[in-house]
Amino acid sequence: MRAVTTTAPRAARDVPLVRAVVGTWPRRVALGVVVGVVAGTVAAGGLARHVAADAGPARAVAGEAVATGPFDVTVRSWTVTDAVRADDLEGAGADAWLVVVVGADNADRESRRLDRTAVTLPDALPGGLALAGDAEPDRPDPTLLVRDASAYPLLQPGLPEDVALLWPVTLPDAEGADLDGGPDEPLTVTVPEFRYRDMTVGGGRRWAETGDVVLVDVPPGDVPPGIVDPPEDEEDW
């Protein structure tokens, strides 16, 4: 053991506690290891506030922008209507459209369409609504620019626009349904987050879902006038 001990620095010899801690090389090494472990734990976020595994996904309130990666998405309102693209309802086997209105600000460096998975509906829809035909909860179709009802709008970077996402739905009582009043309960939707990453297959880079999502309770709202079908006489003209 004598072979591995050395003489402590003069300052350390003058202070008993310091001499006790760094008096020999094994102690100095041990102290270094302890300091290193603590520093490494702090640097790795080991002392961050604990989040319980069952805490679930993050939540945002309606009207609050959610940074998804390629877009800042603000979920505004939802409604049910048959006054939009009424001619397409029969082909979709639907009674009406479930419409979710979002604000979308393209945060990317190039023009892009809102990701088709930008908003996902819950498994159980309120009011007895059910998705019609082949509709999928994470695939709204079509999407319309609220400003002028352009389909599948190409959004420019830094130029926010409101976009209506449509899903075809069936109503529990289609015959006696009165859609004028709209729904009266909130709808909880899921907004996934994306990360720009290298693709291992095929090469290149693209926005890929991270698996993290944000839940938003969406209040009911009105149908944006810009996407409502024009009156028939005007359409015929």
Partner 1 sequence: MTEPAAATTAVVHPEPEGASAPRPRRADRAATVVLLVLAVVVGAPVARVDTWWPTLTPTTTRGDVGDVVTAGPLRVRVDDVRTGTTLEDGYDTLTTGGVWVAVDLAVSASTREASIDTLELRDAAGRDHEASQRAGNRILSRYVDPDVPEAGTVVVEVPERALDGDLVLRVLTEHQDADLDRPQAIAEIDLGRVEAPAAGTVVEVVGPALVPGGWDA
- For residue 160, which amino acid is it? P
Residues of the shown chain interacting with partner 1 in the complex, contacts defined by CB under 8 A? 109-111, 145, 147-148, 150, 153-154, 156-161, 199, 202-206
Give phi and psi for 62, each to the nearest 5: -60, 140
* Distance from C-alpha of 237 to C-alpha of 221, rounded to nearest angstrom: 31
Q: In the complex, what is the shortest distance from the CB of residue 13 to partner 1, in angstroms, rounded to a whole number? A: 48
Alpha carbons within 13 angstroms on the beta-carbon side of residue 74 total: 12
Shorter beta-carbon distance to partner 1: residue 45 or 231 = 231
Supply 43's token pair.
């640097």
Q: In the complex, what is the shortest distance from the CB of residue 64 to partner 1, in angstroms, rounded to a whole number? A: 20
Q: In the complex, what is the shortest distance from the CB of residue 198 to partner 1, in angstroms, rounded to a whole number? A: 11
Shorter beta-carbon distance to partner 1: residue 141 or 161 = 161
C-alpha 56: how far from its chain's center? 14
Q: In the complex, what is the shortest distance from the CB of residue 192 to partner 1, in angstroms, rounded to a whole number? A: 19
Alpha carbons within 13 angstroms on the beta-carbon side of residue 237 total: 5
Shorter beta-carbon distance to partner 1: residue 59 or 147 = 147
Shorter beta-carbon distance to partner 1: residue 76 or 214 = 76
